[in-house]
Amino acid sequence: VRPVGGRTHHLAPSRGYLSPTDRPDAMLGATLTVSALLAFAPPAHRVATRVATPRAATRAATAVRAPPAVHTPNFLDADSARRVAAAAGTPCFVYDAKTLAAQARTALAFPNAYGLTVRFAMKACPNRAVLQLFGSMGLQIDASSVHEVRRAMLAGLPASAISISSQELPSEAEIAEVVGLGVSVNACSLAQLERFGRACTGGKVGLRINPGVGSGGTGKTNVGGPSSSFGIWHELLPQAQALLQQYRLTCERVHTHIGSGSDPAVWQSVADLTLGLAAQLPDVRTVNLGGGFKVGRMEDEPSTNMATVGEPVKAAFEAFAAKHGRELKLEIEPGTFLVANAGALLARVQDEMSTGEGGHDFLKLDAGMTELLRPSLYGARHPIATLPALPEAAPGPVRSFIVSGHCCESGDLLTCAPGEAETLEPRPMLAPKLGDFVVIDGSGAYCSGMSAKNYNSFPECPEVLLDAAGVPHVVRAKQTLEQMLANEAGLPDGFSV
């Protein structure tokens, strides 16, 4: 193991993965009826060498195992990949409308006792067409900044369908503006609550509470418990109540969210804790339990069953009503659940290299952390498959590769070990030729909207939506160099140093 740039890189043993099951029948039979959507018609000093367990030893260690199965793309095949590439080029994000609609219907069926509002956590995938699709199905919006509020409204979502819970609440003037339009605000700290009170004395507000526990797919996606700055700490509820009284505010909602990828058992226990908080706030009529439903991108990762999670929560709401005489409405805020496996990053193999018998075989793509940052940031894994670019091409043999991105950055790695951003994990796939397609599934959530955009001056890539018939529609064009530079200014005349 050789330290690289002050870091140590390790090799995870080669793993085989089962092919995913076919999409549910409900998904295959879904129909998209949103007509509006169809109108959118390296320098040496940065290069790092990773040295790890020799390939021969890895082969010997896996020789007794069954041949690894390769991943089959969730909704793209060679023909549809060629159509998408012809429409938008590569790299590009591809969203499948049938899968989006199926996931939305599942969320809307979440068990509830006295009414349900499903808010799409738009930070997961803020594309206008996706917002419009979900809006047409009755979903509302969870915004994480005033910028997302305005973006949703520009997409045609009514202000009354938008709720904001933000780490950075806007100025008092902006608070008054959005509240005047009908946007709901959840105060996420005592300071935010006081700022809201000054801006909207006598108004209605929600409180986001940190219930004291958290859960997440990684520590970086855990937004509850004593190590998280998200929400008013539950022990500070008396101070929050004092501010409500001082500014004559009505607390109509209690909101909690403990993290993305949270464990269902923890999610259910937090529901009980949240109802306990609602019992101390007599004006509360809505309880928002956030999102964080597990979504398995890889075949060995579990997914949350919404009915399994929801039934005990429904029972808890009924018990609360029997005890306190209040029938509380439920809100949930799924993001990853709705879009993760409805999206894929379509790229091409632009180079292949080997570091010899003691090293690795690498595929270099025309995409990377400029599009997909999750592996570098979280050590997140995504299923990866290759598809032939030419119709007459025969599939190659199964081989294991390290897949890397196009950035001049040693951390631009797309095949890392679980939770270990700096550990290489060879993946089995059909050996491609230069120019062949690579499909990176599970890329619908926290990818396009959360990337190292414009690093190495790579342009923001396009986004494509497949309609119910599989026809690709470009819903975000590729960024031009002129657009990238539009806000820059050169040195003024006469500038000196």
422: amino acid identity, one letter:
E
Q: Which helix (H) or strand (E) holds 39?
A: none
DSSP 413: B
State yes or no: cis peptide before 395, omega within 30 of 0: no
Contact present, 292 and 213 (Cβ < 8 Å) = no
Residue in the block written with tokens 């500038």 = 495
408 is catalytic: yes
User: Phi/psi at 190 (nearest 5 deg)?
Assistant: -65, -40
Other beta carbons less than 10 A from residue 326's beta carbon: 15
Which runs of E-coded beta strand occur in 97-161? Answer: 116-121, 140-143
Other beta carbons less than 10 A from residue 287's beta carbon: 24
Give, in degrees to the nearest 5, the angle at Cα 335 between 287 and 154: 95
Query: Alpha-carbon Rg of the chain, whole angstroms?
Result: 24
Nearest to 377 by CA among 495, 214, 471, 260: 260
From 125, 251, 408, 447, the catalytic residue: 408
Q: What length does the chain have? A: 497
Q: Give the residue numbers marked as catalytic.
A: 408
